[in-house]
Structure 1
Amino acid sequence: MEKIAADLLLKGLAPEGFADSQPIGLVTTDSREVCPGCIFVAFPGERFDGHDFAAKALEEGAAYVVLNHPVEGVPAERAVISPDSYHAMMVMGANYRGQFHPKVVGVTGSVGKTTTKQMTYAAIAGFGNTIKTEGNQNNELGLPRTMFRIGRDTEYAVVEMGMSHAGEIERLAKCARPDVGIITCIGVSHIGNLGSQENICKAKLEICAGLAEGSPLVLNGDDPFLRKAALPTHVRPVWFSLGDENADVCALDVRQEGDGMAFTLCDKNAGRYEVTIPAMGRHNVANALAAYAAATRLGLAPEGVIAGLADFEQTGMRQKIVHAGSMDVIEDCYNANPDSMKAALAMFKEYPCKRRFALLGDMLELGGMSAPAHEELGRQAAEAGLTALVTYGPEAARTARAAKDAGLADVVHAEDYRQAADALLARMAPGDALLVKASRGMALEKALALFYPVCTK
């Protein structure tokens, strides 16, 4: 974070004339990070309440503290009162971002946000100093933290925007003020909160609230909800598609090559290019098209963008291929929903190996759609060319029953991680491959921690 005058940083949060112009070099929510010349933002929590550390933060040199309410021992002239700590972070993030002028890409969508963010970063990073959202910092706390990482030498920023309720993307977009927006697709994540995919589509389109007049909005042309959506007139749609040559950017002759994908990219503005990406599945080709479209509509050269995509690296446990002894494991257990599960199974069906096995867990936060979604997953698993399916989690029990009913002979529903690992170890042999996928809360890496030591002996 570059130093910024306190009155500029707190504009719109503190009363006019409240703050002086002393330089602020850090905004933190962690009392352990407090240092002279910082602002400490107190968040109430289940285990700790940041308000309990406010007075100490001032003693340790904090210039100001941001509180939800007055705190005994904290002088009023040093306390900014904001009933919502998240709102306070967003206001300061927006004020700070306004002092700098990097080109910003905002990425949202129901599926593929993080992968598309990573691909967009790979596409852009070769053109200048670039930052991106790290980890899962895509909410009203994480996005301001990303803004605070912008500096005078930052030329580009790729910002991921997540949501669980209507209105959240609008607030994030107004804070980040992207130059280009991306919407990957409209799925069913958080449908329990939003009620329908139409409402999810409206919520994702809130990204337009942060886009200036004439800004490009990169959209999935294969998504029926985006295709029929009423787009704001101030944005310039850029459509990408797997196969539709009428789209602004499309992929033809899509094929899997080793651990990646190859395809012909057709750009109405720039021509045709042969592209390879180190990621499997048609869904990742779509993600690459979105990244390419965003980067080139910023004015970057297609050849350099494509070279960057070839160096793309996945993060965490997102479709990471682990060679465990003489078997391949595709770790994709960071997140899951019906759309990403379907895409993963489609990719896995084409994966070159002797036999295919899957360990699938619960998809969380589906509300009333959970039961039919997990049953449909079972039917998809039965059609995916699996030798055996192992499931884990209360909702995944429905997946197991549906897979059996659909004709998959070898199905095991595990009651714990050990049983899941043992079921796989008893069945798999050299040359086989395993797909592991569930929502993050299912922690399927714990089953892998039991599986790897045995299979690599």
Structure 2
Amino acid sequence: MLRLRASEIAAAVDGELHGDDVTVTGSVETDSRLLTDGSVFFAMPGEVTDGHRFVDAAIAAGAVLVVAERPLEQDVPHIVVADGVVALGALAADVIRRVRETGELTVIGVTGSNGKTTTKNMLQAILEQHGSTVSPVKSFNNEVGAPMTMLRIDESTRYLVLEMGASIEGDIARLTAMAHPDLGVVLKVGLAHAGEFGGIETTTRAKTEMVRDLGETHVAVLNRDDERVRGMAAATRARIAWFGTDEGTSDEPVALRASDIDSTLEGTVATIHRGDETWRLRLRILGEHHVMNALAALTVADALGLDLDRAIEALGEMARAERGRMELLEPGGGITVINDAYNASPDSTAAALRSLAHMTRQAGRRSIAVLGEMAELGPHAVEEHDRLGRLAVRVRIDRLVVVGEGAKPIHDAAELESSFGQDTTWVATADEAEALLRRELVAGDVVLFKSSNVSGLQPLADRMGGR
């Protein structure tokens, strides 16, 4: 973070400073275990514990300033605020303002129901070739995680890439007001988190908030293939840079287009078009759906005037999208594991199943899908799990193992869709799934693990992958 005095931070967060006006030289943290000398500790109440309980640990770790929601007994400079989360966001907005005034900061916001983390990682790989780039750790994209990413910048930062997630309407608008993105990317609108939003139309409104609040000098990077994203053009004042798989129209030409998309167990390929120019994209990342994420990242690079040859080369060097996201593991014995169990939505799970079926048919290998619950679907949960069970049969997945009560409609639907139901099994726990797989797997099998993180399949995928 920027070097700031406690009084400057107090002014930014509308808080009351108690103690000396110390200078902060370290990072801002909400976890006392991450603190180093010169850092700021935000002591905030949480769902599991209260950050105020860890003030002593924060001081011992080197924190020189604490931001708290009540006066502290400890002898440490601290700022008292009404709401720690609001204060964190206010400080992030102030730091971005200061860096913009003294540096050449460009902010890129990325939102969408699927693909945010992969696209963020792709942008990091491209942009870091051209200047100091800050992007989220893992998928920090909420009211706490996004400001924490913003607070990692300093005067030397050239690019800031932000994931913008939401659980209710207004969340993305608040993040946009903090960061004021120069470019806003919308990847896709789907049923991820639909239970929290209450339906697809509410999700669409929430994802529209970023492009709605972009200015006339900004760029909205929009997926022309997604009908709901396409409709966002009417909501923004920004210049639109379209990406997709069709050529667009004379009125709405596509900036970058992909064709000849194919995916194997060795990676994913596509031809990228910009007018009459073409490039061959070769990703080590598995799954045809990642071509759209690559297109989004390349469209940002193009809008910034960066060299596309270098950008495409950078994407080709990426070993994986992210841990637990279509990650290829080779445990030995001729078995291949694809760990995609960090997160799941109906769209991403369907894409993973189609990719598995396509890749294994090309390679002449047996496909096995181990599926857990997709969380946060609300009233759509049974219907969407049912739909995926039928899809698994229709794309000819050879063996289906369904784990957990919440995912059981996948198994039930697959049994009904298939002739005899002999290729699908439901088990209650990951341990049962592991025992079944260790009995059944043979050389040549390709096993996909796909679920929301709360289902607990990622550790199983890691074990089965030999990690």
Q: Above 0.5 in TM-score?
A: yes
Aligned ranges for residues 105-254 of structure 1 at < 5 Å?
Answer: 105-208=108-211, 211-229=214-232, 231-246=234-249, 247-254=254-261
Give 1:400 shift. Answer: 0.3
| Structure 2 gap ranges (5+) | none
Deviation per residue, 1:58-116 (Å, 9 max, x gap):
79986543222345x369x9553333211111111111122223222111110011011
Secondary structure of 1:264's partner?
strand
Distance 1:32-1:385 versus aligned 2 partners, 3 A rule: closer
Distance 1:35-1:310 versus aligned 2 partners, 3 A rule: closer
1:283 and 2:293 correspond: no
The one-letter code of the counterpart of 2:153 is I
Alignment-derived partner of residue 426 in structure 1: 439
Alignment-derived partner of residue 332 in structure 1: 340
d(CA) in 1 for partners of 2:431, 2:48: 31
Counterpart selection for 1:411 from 388, 413, 424: 424
Contact map agreement 1:417 1:446 (CA 8 A) in 2:
no
Alignment-derived partner of residue 8 in structure 1: 8
Give 1:369 shift. Answer: 0.3
Alignment-derived partner of residue 377 in structure 2: 366
Alignment-derived partner of residue 444 in structure 1: 457
Give 1:174 shift. Answer: 2.0
Give 1:404 shift. Answer: 1.0
Distance 1:233-1:20 versus aligned 2 partners, 3 A rule: farther
d(CA) in 1 for partners of 2:175, 2:264: 38
Secondary structure of 2:289's partner?
helix
Give 1:278 shift. Answer: 1.6
Secondary structure of 1:188's partner?
coil
* Identity within the alignment, %: 33
Distance 1:81-1:354 versus aligned 2 partners, 3 A rule: same
The one-letter code of the counterpart of 1:14 is D
Alignment-derived partner of residue 28 in structure 1: 29
Give 1:305 shift. Answer: 1.3
Distance 1:258-1:435 versus aligned 2 partners, 3 A rule: closer
Q: TM-score, normalised by structure 2?
A: 0.88
The one-letter code of the counterpart of 1:359 is V
Give 1:380 shift. Answer: 0.5
Alignment-derived partner of residue 50 in structure 1: 51
d(CA) in 2 for partners of 1:376, 1:317: 23
d(CA) in 1 for partners of 2:463, 2:36: 43
Give 1:16 shift. Answer: 9.3
Q: TM-score, normalised by structure 1?
A: 0.90
| Structure 1 gap ranges (5+) | none
Distance 1:99-1:371 versus aligned 2 partners, 3 A rule: same
Give 1:28 shift. Answer: 2.8
RMSD: 2.7
1:69 and 2:76 correspond: no
Give 1:257 shift. Answer: 4.9
d(CA) in 1 for partners of 2:121, 2:62: 37
Distance 1:47-1:310 versus aligned 2 partners, 3 A rule: closer
Contact map agreement 1:106 1:181 (CA 8 A) in 2:
yes
Q: Give aligned pairs, total.
A: 451
The one-letter code of the counterpart of 2:14 is A
d(CA) in 2 for partners of 1:187, 1:120: 22
Counterpart selection for 1:318 from 321, 325, 328: 325
d(CA) in 2 for partners of 1:179, 1:4: 25
Counterpart selection for 1:255 from 253, 262, 269: 262
Give 1:289 shift. Answer: 0.4
Alignment-derived partner of residue 378 in structure 1: 389
The one-letter code of the counterpart of 1:387 is D
Counterpart selection for 1:308 from 311, 314, 324: 314
Distance 1:341-1:35 versus aligned 2 partners, 3 A rule: closer
Distance 1:236-1:343 versus aligned 2 partners, 3 A rule: same
d(CA) in 2 for partners of 1:410, 1:257: 24
Distance 1:134-1:449 versus aligned 2 partners, 3 A rule: closer
Secondary structure of 2:405's partner?
coil
Alignment-derived partner of residue 89 in structure 2: 90
Distance 1:209-1:38 versus aligned 2 partners, 3 A rule: farther
Q: Report which stretch shifted further, 61-70 or 306-315.
A: 61-70
d(CA) in 2 for partners of 1:209, 1:12: 26
d(CA) in 1 for partners of 2:265, 2:50: 51
The one-letter code of the counterpart of 1:39 is V
Give 1:176 shift. Answer: 2.2
Distance 1:181-1:149 versus aligned 2 partners, 3 A rule: same
Give 1:17 shift. Answer: 9.6
d(CA) in 2 for partners of 1:171, 1:16: 24
d(CA) in 2 for partners of 1:104, 1:370: 35
